[in-house]
Amino acid sequence: MSLIDSFARTSGTGAPRPAAKRRSRTRASIGPATIISGLVLLIAVAWALFPGLFTHHDPNDGGTTPALLAPSLDHWFGTDQTGRDAFTRVVYGASQSLLAALVAVGVGLVVGTAIGLIAGTRRGWVDDVLMRLVDVLLSIPAILLSLSIVVVLGFGTINAAIAVGVTAIAQFARLSRSEAVRINTSDFVAAAYGSGGTFFSVLFRHILPNSTSPVLSLAVLQIGSAILQISTLGFLGYGTPPPTPEWGLIIAEGRNFVATAWWLTVLPGFVVMAIVLATHQIGNTLRKATS
């Protein structure tokens, strides 16, 4: 079962659940894994906003520090081939990677939701045309599509984020369409039209507010996927240009020293993995709480 089908199925088609049952399910879903995931994300956000609180080293200048030092109390992730503190570069790289991920998810969320809502409410030939375009996007591998867009737009953090965001449009469009179709057939929507409501008034006052929960849950999940894709582009050299620290670029710079300085690749890779897993855990928790 695909991720979109899972979201569509768990969104439900019946009447809203009682408030007490929703609250009990929310409390039950917030376990230790969710709390730890929340702490991991808070640390990552703090790195992005206040990197100077976590390290006193310069991310782009190693000074007189020896190169390829092993992890220690002074250099938690060791030093790279030019003597730069690897942990410092990971901390400062959070702003680039998280900003790019948020931009990517924002592009996919806004454009995809708009397409899905229009297709799910207008139906007919509009639905057919828009969904066939979505099928075309789904038929192209995400990494290939993002690489093609980056080559056209040029290298850089924002361009890489836009490219990744385009690859996410189809997933948001399919989910928002399924929600729009479900809600559009509800009695309260028919009553809104019957009382003189226009298409756009019903869309923005009734359909859109009632279809946001599963879409926003998917957006949280997509942050982790966006981080992975942006890091992949950076690893391949299509993302943030050096010496600006970015997680994919940091891992790529250390791959030539795996045999002698494994920490340059393994430790930043572990950070990326932990943050991606944390976003997925939070996203799944939100999905269960709103289903």
Give the per-residue pLDDT at 168.
93
Structural domain contains residue 231: yes
Q: In the chain, what is the greatest distance between 2 CA atoms, to the nearest angstrom?
A: 76
Q: Decide: residue 232, CB within 10 A, 0-12 exposed, 13-18 middle, 19+ buried.
A: buried
Range of the domain at 274: 29-59+71-290
Both tokens of 6, joined, read: 């899972």
Mean pLDDT for 205-216 is 84
Rounded to the nearest angstrom, the gap between the alpha carbon of residue 213 and the centroid of all alpha carbons in its chain is 16
29 pLDDT tier (thresholds 50, 70, 90): low
Residue 164 lies in a domain: yes
Alpha carbon distance 1, 14 (integer Å): 22
Q: How high does pLDDT run on average in the chain? A: 85
Q: What CATH number corresponds to the domain at position 274?
A: 1.10.3720.10
The Cα–Cα gap between 231 and 157 comes to 10
The reply to whether 9 falls in a domain is: no
Global pTM reads 0.82
**Number of folded domains in the chain?**
1
Task: Summarize pLDDT for 48-86 with one digit per residue, the tens.
Answer: 999 999 999 899 887 788 989 999 998 999 999 889 999
Q: Which of 42-46, 48-52, 122-126 has the lowest mean pLDDT?
A: 122-126
